Structure 1
Amino acid sequence: MIAKILVRAPQTLKAQLQSIAKQEGHTLNALVLQILWDWAKQHRHDQDQNSA
């Protein structure tokens, strides 16, 4: 199931992310999802390291 998330961001950030997405051949949504997945994986890794 897909859930929608509304993110309020400054127009300058949106424009920068759109530019990066276009350069990489991705949609803005795909870029933001990749950023969030990368952050979540790193956060989990950091939590696991701190628990050990």
Structure 2
Amino acid sequence: MERWRQIHDLLDQGVGLLACARRLDVSLNTVNRYARAAEPDRMVRAPVYRSS
């Protein structure tokens, strides 16, 4: 939830996605995923179980 808040704070300030990724030292895909989530609760994903 803290990462979600950091990314949304930067985006609200007008910082671009790539700049957010560089400032927070995370991948651009991570920033995109957090930016698309309207609420931090949406970031919780159910585990995927695969047979071995």
* Greater relative CO (CA pairs within 8 A, separation 6+): 2
TM-score by length of 1: 0.30
TM-score (norm 2): 0.30
Q: Looking at CA atoms only, which structure, 1 or 2, has the larger radius of gyration?
A: 1
